[in-house]
Structure 1
Amino acid sequence: MTDFEMGPALLFCPASRPDRYGKAMDRADAVILDLEDAVAPQDREEARQSLIANPMDPDRTVVRINPAGSDDFAQDLRALQQTRYKHVMLAKTEEPESLAQLADYSIVALCETAKGIINAPAIAAAPNVVALMWGAEDMIASLGGTSSRRPDGQYRDVALHARSHVLLAAGAAGKAALDSVYVDIADLAGLKEECDDAIASGFTAKASIHPSQMPVIRAAYTPTQTEVEQAQRMLAAAEQTGGVFTFEGRMVDEPVLRHARKTLSRAGLADGQDQMTVPATGSVSDSRAVR
């Protein structure tokens, strides 16, 4: 199975709305065509037919299918077999055994129940899993709760624990970690704050539910000119110094250098030697343009 290379801005789109497929693809880095929660049960067969009849770029498309063992699961698989899609998001993944029927697909395992969160390390270790994503509201519902967030919009402790547990499970297995959606569509400032935290924590990408969230996610994942230049200077100093050293008043060792390399990677620069241009906004781009 290949690594997960989509993102950083992933957009859910109901599979029952083929009129939105192209628009979603134009706005997002990758589209998650949803056969589960975004589609009413009575509309899912029509959604499957739309999935088959309206193909999109398989390298930029993930199909979310219904949970293993559900009435819709087998029907979703039959529809998938009539497409070129190879990236599948399995809703409510709870144990690695549920992935056996998806051996021919690269799986984004959506851990969104208490059982799925607890079993995240074993799920991440499955060979056809390329990424883990966590889901807040379904997880809280599985516990009998009513809301993943406090009145101030911040996650409750149990949700933060689930988020961290899935991130650590993905990282331990060398898989990508995708952050959950931000449901307050109008609160772009809150979305940016959550994106900044996701990046600093190690999430590869963030899923979203509305096109207006795409620019915020992209901007957050694009390092600023200042961040790129600092990373380049730090790595250049490391080549001259080696070992542990002080850089601009900060102690630098190998973990800090890995942070710097990741900053350049997010900017589309492999080693800091590539030529780049800096737009007026202060974000970094080059001929390979960060989406």
Structure 2
Amino acid sequence: MNTFTDSTFDGFLLGIDGGGSGTRVILADARGVELARATGGPSGLALGVERAWQSIGDACKRAFDAASLAFDWRDCALGCGLAGVNNADWLAAFLGSAPPVRALGVESDAYTTVLGAHGGEPGVIVALGTGSIAASLDRAGACRIAGGYGFPSGDEASGAWLGLRAVVHLQRVLDGRLPADDWSRALLRHTGATDRDSLVVWLCASNQTAYATLAPCVFEFRDHPAAAQLLAQAGREIEMLVAALDPAGVMPVALCGGLAAPYEPLVPAALRERLRAPLADSAAGALELARRAGTHRKRTLE
């Protein structure tokens, strides 16, 4: 996955991993040799297609700057693993707004994550960040998905899912339904609220990214009874996602994303024994998409 020897593409490859909290880019030459990495703002499609392309463009420009190269979309084959592409309208709008790139491949960030995590071999991943989704890859290369229905009804065990439930504790404290404690005071600090009315203002203005900012506070107070109960529920949700894709329990499993490390000791023991460190990240999987897109376009033109 780290090298590309086919000489039919002579531009640059860009692997893009885009979610609700940020964008990560790998820039490589036509052989797949990595030249630079960069990050940018959120590019999950739920936050808007214009914002997604802006974040992607900014991050790509930073990668080219880091490699001391001139940035021109026309020289680039892009592989994008993005949150939200399962919404057909969002995907169509994203493709319709694409800059004049040499080639473009777009898949779910779940697909690029499982592709990178297991090096194209069979396996299961649960991607845990602002949102969440699980995916498996079988020996035939077929990808199956579980979860990932989006905030607020889905994305179990994600940062946004945790934050949405954590703030309920704060609401109860502000009403006097529960006594104030260190966790509620920490949640107040994170939201910037001081009372009921100011919390309502925060709630009305918040999206999935804002709720996800409360997730670290849940892990910080994991010994609090309500936080512990919430994290235990999240662990069971992760286990259910894996079981849906691998009911026989025979494939390796990788937890991926920003919340993978804090969740690892909290998932049920039977699943924890099957966990393997991902071989590479979603941006690396997206780089493989870019390679395929560039190769396919060149061969189509010949």
For Structure 1 versus Structure 2, the TM-score category normalised by the shorter chain is: 0.3 to 0.5
State the structure with bigger RCO (CA 8 A, min sep 6), 1 or 2: 2
